Structure 1
Amino acid sequence: MVTSEEIWRRANQLTIEIQIRRRKWIWIGQTLRKPKTTIVNQALRRNPLRAKFLQASKLNYTSGFHCDEIKLCRRQFRAEHTTMAVSVSSAQHYLECGQCEEYPAKFVCKTCRGNLCKKCKTEHENRQITKNHVIYQLKIYKEEAIGQLNCADHYSKQLECFCCPCKKPVCTECIVWSHNGHAVQPLSIAYREIRDQLQKKKEEIENKLLPKYRELLQGEFLKKAVLSQQANEEQKQIETHTQNVIDIVKELGQKTVQDLRVMEEKGHREIDQSSTELQRKIDQLQTASQVLSESIDAEPGSFFFEVH
């Protein structure tokens, strides 16, 4: 008889339960990327267990009932916080303080595995129930905390190895069911290798790529300045040439107007001469007409036949 799990494994597919869980955590990551003022983000961040833990921490430490309640809340909060830190860390730009949920975490409590900011660290050290906890800086604790991470698919299992073909951390259940036969290596070694690769990429970016592209950017700025200077020079030349053309056109216009006025005066003189000559002719004709009129009106005599 073949079980459903065996069929899922042979088909190289995840079970419905795991698919539902993954979709749920993907939705949680997308919700956490939204602004904190949204209702869905506030509803997701509301944690009754955390509130109960903080309330229990303020109670009298000497009371046996309160002490048991604190221990129970601490275990519940620790399990939930560890799972959330593993599953949702990819949705945040920085590791958030697990107590105030507002500021970036700078320290980590090894005893309760809580991430703390600077302010919450001081409160954690001053609180009666947590004053003896061991607190490390987050950078020092990172590699040591690798062995305390829980699997995203099997929440009760801790991550043990790193699957080289799949490029993901796995627990013993993952190795048995979905990564059987894959080459694996210790999680700490994989962490150091990945960290070294990221460090090399960072150094390459800072030492090679950034200087190169900054130099190219400076070159572009220089090109821009040279282009602006050339454009200004060309503009000055165009304006100078335009002004020269305007001056030449004005000079030609003034000379043309002067020649026109000279021709006008010459024409006026010729017209005046012609008018004078015509007026003289008119006067002569009027005189002749008057003489002829007198001859016509006079008494006829011998001279009348000699006038014409």
Structure 2
Amino acid sequence: MDPRTSAQNVIHCDLCETVKVQMHCDTCLVNLCKACVGEHISAGDESKDHKVVKYQSRNSTPIYPECTSHEKERCEMFCRKCDISVCASCLSSDQHISNKLSKILEVLDEKKDKINKYKTDLNENVNPKYLEMASNVQNKISELEKEYGELLTSITKQGEVLQREIDKLVNKLKNQIDKIKSSQLQTLQKILDEINRKMIDIKQEINLLDIAKDSNDISKIINLRSTVDQHKIFPQIPVLSAPKFTPKAIQEEELCSHFGDLSLIPLKSKEHGNIIKTTKNKRIISSPPLVKERLLKVNAPQKKLRNEPELFDQRIYHFGYLRRVAWLSDEKIWTCDNSCTMTLYSINQGSPLKSIRTRTINSLPSDIAVTKSGELVYTDICERTVNIVKNENKEEVIRLNNWKPLGICSTSSGDLLVTMESDDNKQSKVVRYSDSTEKQSIQFVYKGTPLYSSDGSDKLICENRNLDICVADSGAKAIVVVNQFGKLRFKYSGHTPAPWNRTLNPRGITTDSQSNILTTDYDNNCVHIIDQNGRFLQFLEFGFYALGGLCTNSDDYLFLISWKYFFSLSSSLEKIKYLH
């Protein structure tokens, strides 16, 4: 226990620690008894002017600040222009003679008035508002807990309703099967009973024939009439079999349409008076830019697929192995080959306009794309970077650690979607970037189940008109499509029979104005066209030509890289019309 205090919290002298406090030194802020006052003054700093007052009058003596310019000087004045305290020596130096000076006690009173106003404002305005906000947030937490509980209960009940309907449907089918089974078994049992009766009749007739054969009665033998011919009329046995049950593939969207959907409510922040202003780190949830514009295009007049695609003579020949292609304008298209060069071609002239090399020697661009503003972006797998070309200057936009960038596309909102794989080839994902900031990561279907393969294979990407994210995953031998929130919609693994009866091996992906998805199939020398829900529509076959990257323009013309197996040192870029 502190010896200066008793059970009744009596304050004792700071020096002797036994006698009840009677005096107080305002200079040193020390509690004293009368007997210790002299000791305190004599033992203390002689330069200090000890202000010893009764304990009840403590803190009544102002403590003047020490001067920062003159040692051991106390400041009794305040220079308002310089905003500092000044002592007598400062005033005698004429440094502040022309400035406005005030007694420091006056400044002290002003400051105390402001402190009282601040305190009053905090107590009467600010703190009550925070208390109100805290109460509102706590109430909202309770409301949300209740709402989410009701939501889960509603979903559970809907699941029970759906389960009961499924049970009813299953029981109905079982009853139908039981009736069909019973009817068929009765039919067969009747035929079996008739066969058994016939066999008894035949046995009896055989006995009669044996008796007649051994009889000497000529009259009986002559009058005997056999029914063998009647027994040769065999009963007809129907060919019966159990009904066949063909399970229908259950698409998640169809199930959701019967079960119900979650409607997301946009997040809104409420401002309370003028106290809180959320001007920084303010996030507004809204539809991405140009979504309405894109939806209008989706609702444009429908175009039908042509039975026979039309190939144009506007063909670009390239000495080397073209890999990727990205549309720029009506007459210009970007390509990249198996070197570190990206080339801009004129469609009409079929000639190169300019070439851009990667930022570092021997860095192969894994994929290329064109942004909304018409700038070329590319992924550099060796440097682990995403780069943009502005006025022929290459700038690094994104640099990855422990991940390699693969495919890239520019979205309707101006974001970049990048497919990437970990350095150890054990993980793959799609990441959305706004400028250089990561906004979204898409990696798993559910509870750690990966969406994409992880084997170092190509994973090219594009955004569909309905904002779905489509990945041509050659390692998974599939097209993997998720919605804009990263939820799996479907996987397309090819259509049977394929032109060469081989498994789908996608090497490029694009979409058109009808939200169709087009992918090149390297092993089957064809282009698969599927709709936005994964339903197969058509093959575009190219015989002995192998196919690489592809893209479409605003008029739905398809531009497709092709090369012959035996002449792979040269490739061509075809222009194809496949829609009416």
Give me the TM-score of the superposition, normalised by structure 2.
Answer: 0.28
Q: Flag the structure with higher helix content.
A: 1
Higher relative contact order (CA 8 A, sep 6+): 1
Q: Flag the structure with higher strand content.
A: 2
